[in-house]
């Protein structure tokens, strides 16, 4: 079912957009949401040629070079977005950028891997959301009964089922699991803290996807995963606030 134009998502911000799920989401959201502007971040210009070529043919995609761990740059990014949206704010923030440690066993884990995972997967989404919160507030509250779109805003934190405490029946993967579990906790807090502003906050497990992070053995393609994610985003409303969902809309245990 197509989203009515009255609830089209005008302004979208997505991190880690140069490849994998992030890049595929942009390609999916443009025809579905018909946004006026999509702000897409990338870190390494040498690994972002495909995104740059795509943006060159889609003037409503504005690229922002950003190392997600460059926390001091967030306020500057917020000012750029505010100016580009002419003060109308953001309707959708997708904290997608993430990393995973290749080390699984506690006997091999190092402090540097824990720190890297937490800075990228937990601290960055929290601080970026903080920096962009005034813009989300500008776009939200006008139509609190509508799905995300004009008059409604949402924060989508891309998490993982590996961050589910109840679903952990294999152990290991300390850096990644713990950073995503912490992101889930942050999402829950956001959903409560943002209620007055009518901003929705959800955690999203995109599935095990064939990406640089997911590897070639993953069962899902980026096309399959993002098709489900976009369907979920199109219906995102109050009932979803503060919950943890899979790419196909299935609710997951914390």
Q: Name the percent of the chain lying above pLDDT 90.
A: 81
Residue ranges making up the domain that contains 119: 5-246
H helix intervals, the chain: 20-33, 49-56, 74-84, 111-118, 124-139, 174-193, 222-235
Q: Is residue 159 part of a domain?
A: yes
Q: Is residue 87 part of a domain?
A: yes
Q: Is residue 251 part of a domain?
A: no
SS3 199: strand
Pairing of strands 244-246, 199-205: parallel
* pLDDT tens figures, 112-164: 999 999 999 999 999 999 999 999 999 987 666 677 866 689 999 999 999 99
Tokens linked to 44 = 């390494």
Q: Is residue 93 part of a domain?
A: yes
Q: Is residue 253 part of a domain?
A: no
Q: Is residue 254 part of a domain?
A: no
- Residue 212's pLDDT is what? 64
Instruction: Place 219 in a pLDDT band, splitting at 50, 70 and 90.
Output: low
Write the CATH number for 195. 3.40.50.720
Query: What's the number of domains the chain is made of?
Result: 1
63 backbone dihedrals φ, ψ, rounded to 5°: -85, 140
CA distances from 184 to 83, 219, 230 (A): 31, 24, 20
């Amino acid at each position: 079912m197509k989203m009515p134009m009255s609830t089209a998502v005008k302004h979208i911000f997505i991190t880690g957009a140069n490849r994998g799920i992030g890049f595929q989401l942009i390609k999916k959201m443009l025809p579905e949401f018909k946004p006026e502007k999509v702000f897409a971040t990338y870190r390494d210009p040498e690994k972002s040629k495909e995104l740059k070529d795509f943006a060159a043919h889609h003037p409503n995609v504005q690229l922002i070079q950003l190392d997600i761990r460059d926390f001091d740059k967030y306020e500057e990014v917020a000012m750029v977005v505010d100016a580009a949206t002419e003060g109308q704010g953001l309707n959708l923030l997708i904290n997608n950028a993430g990393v995973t440690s290749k080390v699984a066993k506690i006997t091999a884990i190092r402090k540097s891997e824990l720190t890297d995972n937490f800075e990228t997967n937990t601290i960055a989404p929290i601080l970026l959301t903080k920096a962009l919160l005034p813009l989300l507030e500008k776009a939200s509250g006008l139509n609190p009964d509508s799905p995300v779109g004009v008059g409604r805003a949402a924060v989508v934190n891309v998490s993982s089922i590996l961050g589910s405490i109840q679903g952990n029946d294999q152990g290991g993967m300390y850096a990644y699991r713990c950073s995503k579990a912490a992101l889930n906790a942050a999402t829950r807090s956001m959903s409560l803290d943002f209620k007055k502003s009518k901003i929705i906050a959800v955690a999203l497990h995109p599935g095990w996807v064939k990406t640089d992070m997911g590897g070639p053995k993953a069962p899902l393609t980026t096309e399959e995963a993002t098709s489900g994610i976009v369907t979920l985003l199109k219906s995102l409303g109050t009932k979803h606030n503060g919950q943890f969902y899979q790419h196909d809309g299935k609710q997951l245990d914390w």
